[in-house]
A and B are shown apart, each in its own frame.
Chain A
């Protein structure tokens, strides 16, 4: 936040100012940066302000080792760190100031905890003698973030910094990943450590022991159910990507010939081309995967948490099926769906250790049942959407054309709403770690900063953000961050001048009473140009191929606005409160 130091700065005036010249005793701020370097951090997303200024002063000396990216709003820093973490599997790091700097991070932290994203947020705090006095830019960040962090800690002593940062990285990354927040008072940043700086990575903690290798009896019980099942169905969750278990998953599926479907965050962990890949689960998932959830005799859930958007009405969800639940977080076992065979552990290790225990099998007849539903969905929904006869461009054709042009190998970062569901439905993912979106929290405005973070994490991959006109205006300021970095993030706005998903619900469930969903939008291309980003508006189907080609050929950031049909709906759909088997095709 803005620099305004009228109350806090003078109080610390008598503290010693430390230069880097004496490395044996450094101050808290240098300890922060040196600890980050010791943890392997190369990129920080941040925004300076009063209470974090000592750390910013220190970063100035380490610019050759740490790339600090100046965002335009702290929420952008959080989502960029998430995008970075989601694609690299490494911890995303944010650095912001106290008060509003910290509260602006809150949405991103809440997003990261629900989507199990490793993140370390380092936050400045007023000097320790001012804590609790309503000092300038003081907020009880610890209190605010307890429910949305995996761990938070307030540092008031410079000597604690290396140990706490090491602990923060260990906690954020291990087990079920999540965000960790460290609140550092300004005096702790300024004061000299009383002992030489030593950073030792945390390898174990007394009170926190994530179980990685499952218990043998749990594996045996799971294998027994898998071997007995006639109609087993495997669900691929986000845990597969987090654990890096894609190969193990394929080996398991190929040996057992079990059909598999993915949750929203599990997408791209299996190639859509795999013969055992049946599609996507849940509210806007595929027809067969939802209907047959209620006809399988065994669910093997790998690294997923049975979100209500997956299960629909729980009282009518897969009651006929036994459940094997492979999950690293013991609190997820039996939370929503009772597990007949829980397997607590890391998905990669669990699948690896299950492999020798399960029998080779052939489920061709069972898989053929999915294909019957696929044919119906294809005829009723997919083909009409991909080859429309209406005048306006449909979202589906934009996504599929993009998919074809990028050979299914781009990283798709989708925002929240109809375009998110369309991207999930129509992009044909061929490579792992290719779909990044805000799944659990459904944070509009996620995609623009997250796509930037993803591009920073994977500069060699084509990163395309798919954003709605509503979402885009929630974090539009991050165009500035993208422009300043020059990184070639490709941005597609699917513009229907509506908050489309809310409009769809109002149409279907509120008698078409369109309550505050129509948007009068600015000229997005002019805005992009103002930021120094090239753009183009595609209004006609004939122009779609050329527009996408131009966008993809650009070696700079590029904004493509596509004017799409105004009142398009996403189907199939399991309406809230309905049973997965009652999925609607229209």
Chain B
């Protein structure tokens, strides 16, 4: 199974997520992760959708069918090597009195993770990285008892020098200052 990242640029209006996901449902493709936010231009949303597939052909068909949605401005399918990508994870880790203390230096220097909230009996650690890096850290911190763990969807930007402006009409969209 290969991981594909699909970036969908759409008008920002009600119901677009539904219009996009119905195409995945029809083709029985599971969504591994999904992130949606407005882009640098007002009124344009960016969906970053990660799927796994054995067939590049199937992904190409999916991409073309997503493009048919009227509100969709552009769709790109990427392999991992085509993009810079990251996820963010939060770990709520138990630190009861008397337990072995956390090795904050290793957490910071080796794992590039940061404690973002201290409580008397637990801490919340934030880790940014790829899925693999996050799970490496997961394995490291597991002995301390993970009370809660949450991972965001992937965000990704293509390594290609082209920008959205190369695909979309420039003048119509207002940039954030």
Name the CB-closest residue of A to B169. A206
CB pair A330–B70 under 8 Å, yes or no, is: no
The one of A143, A150, A333, A335 that contacts B18, using a Cβ cutoff of 8 Å: A143
Q: Which of A505-559 contact B (CB under 8 A)?
A: none
Flag A180-193 by CB within 8 Å of B: 1 or 0 each.
Answer: 00000000000000
Give the dominant DSSP class at B's interface.
mixed
Give the Cβ gap from B168 to chain A, nearest Cβ, in Å: 8
CB pair A147–B26 under 8 Å, yes or no, is: yes
CB pair A206–B64 under 8 Å, yes or no, is: no
Centre residue among B11, B26, B64, B73 by max chain A CB count within 10 A: B64
Give the complex CA separation of A147 and B27 in angstroms.
Answer: 12
Give the Cβ gap from A12 to chain B, nearest Cβ, in Å: 23
Flag A204-221 by CB within 8 Å of B: 1 or 0 each.
Answer: 011110000000000000
Q: Write out the residue numbers on chain B whose beta carbons fall within 8 Å of the beta carbon of A142.
A: 15
* B61 within 8 Å of A (CB atoms): yes
Give the complex CA separation of A329 and B67 in angstroms.
Answer: 10
Name the CB-closest residue of B to A151. B70
CB pair B61–A331 under 8 Å, yes or no, is: yes
* A146 within 8 Å of B (CB atoms): yes
Q: Which of A357-380 contact B (CB under 8 A)?
A: none
Give the complex CA separation of A206 and B43 in angstroms.
Answer: 12
CB pair B22–A146 under 8 Å, yes or no, is: yes
CB pair B14–A154 under 8 Å, yes or no, is: yes
Give the Cβ gap from B65 to chain A, nearest Cβ, in Å: 5
Q: Write out the residue numbers on chain B whose beta carbons fall within 8 Å of the beta carbon of A333.
A: 64
Flag A137-158 by CB within 8 Å of B: 1 or 0 each.
Answer: 0000011001100110010000
Q: Write out the residue numbers on chain B whose beta carbons fall within 8 Å of the beta carbon of A330.
A: 64, 67
CB pair B71–A334 under 8 Å, yes or no, is: no
Give the size range of B's interface with the partner.
Answer: 20 to 34
* A300 within 8 Å of B (CB atoms): no
Give the complex CA separation of A334 and B57 in angstroms.
Answer: 9
Interface residue count on the A side (C-beta < 8 Å)? 18
* B72 within 8 Å of A (CB atoms): yes
Name the CB-closest residue of A to B173. A206
* A32 within 8 Å of B (CB atoms): no
* A171 within 8 Å of B (CB atoms): yes
* B112 within 8 Å of A (CB atoms): no
Known: A142-B15, A143-B18, A331-B61. A208 touches B70 (CB 8 A): yes
Known: A143-B18, A147-B22. A334 touches B61 (CB 8 A): yes
Known: A142-B15, A146-B15, A146-B22. A331 touches B68 (CB 8 A): yes
Give the Cβ gap from B43 to chain A, nearest Cβ, in Å: 9
CB pair A171–B70 under 8 Å, yes or no, is: yes
Q: Write out the residue numbers on chain A whose beta carbons fall within 8 Å of the beta carbon of B14.
A: 154
Known: A143-B18, A331-B61. A150 touches B67 (CB 8 A): no
Give the complex CA separation of A207 and B173 in angstroms.
Answer: 12
* B10 within 8 Å of A (CB atoms): yes
Give the Cβ gap from A285 to chain B, nearest Cβ, in Å: 26
Give the complex CA separation of A206 and B57 in angstroms.
Answer: 28
CB pair B61–A150 under 8 Å, yes or no, is: no
CB pair B67–A331 under 8 Å, yes or no, is: yes
Name the CB-closest residue of B to A167. B70
Name the CB-closest residue of A to B61. A335
Q: Which of B94-128 contact A (CB under 8 A)?
A: none
Name the CB-closest residue of B to A331. B64
Give the complex CA separation of A208 and B70 in angstroms.
Answer: 6
CB pair A206–B15 under 8 Å, yes or no, is: no
Give the complex CA separation of A197 and B40 in angstroms.
Answer: 34
Known: A330-B67, A331-B61, A331-B68. A206 touches B172 (CB 8 A): yes
Centre residue among B70, B71, B72, B73 by max chain A CB count within 10 A: B70
Known: A146-B18, A146-B19, A150-B70. A207 touches B61 (CB 8 A): no
Give the Cβ gap from A314 to chain B, nearest Cβ, in Å: 13
CB pair A329–B15 under 8 Å, yes or no, is: no
Q: Which of A190-241 contact B (CB under 8 A)?
A: 205-208
Give the complex CA separation of A147 and B67 in angstroms.
Answer: 14
The one of A146, A147, A154, A207 that contacts B72, using a Cβ cutoff of 8 Å: A207
Q: Which of B58-78 contact A (CB under 8 A)?
A: 60-61, 64-65, 67-68, 70-73
The one of A146, A154, A205, A329 that contacts B68, using a Cβ cutoff of 8 Å: A329
Give the complex CA separation of A329 and B68 in angstroms.
Answer: 8
The one of B60, B72, B73 that contacts A334, using a Cβ cutoff of 8 Å: B60
Flag A330-343 by CB within 8 Å of B: 1 or 0 each.
Answer: 11011100000000
Give the complex CA separation of A168 and B169 in angstroms.
Answer: 22
Give the Cβ gap from A358 to chain B, nearest Cβ, in Å: 28
Give the complex CA separation of A20 and B143 in angstroms.
Answer: 76
Give the complex CA separation of A207 and B168 in angstroms.
Answer: 9
Name the CB-closest residue of A to B60. A334
Q: Write out the residue numbers on chain A whose beta carbons fall within 8 Å of the beta carbon of B70.
A: 150-151, 171, 205, 207-208
Give the complex CA separation of A150 and B67 in angstroms.
Answer: 12
Q: Write out the residue numbers on chain A whose beta carbons fall within 8 Å of the beta carbon of B67.
A: 330-331
Known: A330-B64, A334-B61, A335-B61. A206 touches B18 (CB 8 A): no
Q: Write out the residue numbers on chain A whose beta carbons fall within 8 Å of the beta carbon of B60.
A: 334
CB pair A206–B73 under 8 Å, yes or no, is: yes
Give the complex CA separation of A147 and B24 in angstroms.
Answer: 11
Give the complex CA separation of A331 and B14 in angstroms.
Answer: 24
Q: Write out the residue numbers on chain A whose beta carbons fall within 8 Å of the beta carbon of B15.
A: 142, 146, 154
Give the Cβ gap from A410 to chain B, nearest Cβ, in Å: 35
Give the Cβ gap from B20 to chain A, nearest Cβ, in Å: 10
Flag B30-71 by CB within 8 Å of A: 1 or 0 each.
Answer: 000000000000000000000000000100110011011011
Give the complex CA separation of A464 and B61 in angstroms.
Answer: 40
Give the complex CA separation of A154 and B15 in angstroms.
Answer: 10
CB pair A207–B65 under 8 Å, yes or no, is: no
Q: Write out the residue numbers on chain B whose beta carbons fall within 8 Å of the beta carbon of A171.
A: 70
Q: Write out the residue numbers on chain B whose beta carbons fall within 8 Å of the beta carbon of A329.
A: 68
Name the CB-closest residue of A to B10. A207
5 A-B pairs with least C-beta separation:
A331-B64, A151-B70, A207-B73, A147-B22, A208-B70
Which residues of B are in contact with A by a Cβ distance under 8 Å?
10-11, 14-15, 18-19, 22, 26, 57, 60-61, 64-65, 67-68, 70-73, 168-169, 172
CB pairs A–B below 8 angstroms (13 shown):
A146-B18, A147-B22, A206-B73, A206-B172, A207-B70, A329-B68, A330-B64, A330-B67, A331-B64, A331-B68, A334-B57, A334-B60, A335-B64
Contacts A146-B18, A147-B26, A331-B67 supplied; 4 other A-B pairs, CB < 8 Å: A146-B15, A150-B70, A329-B68, A334-B57
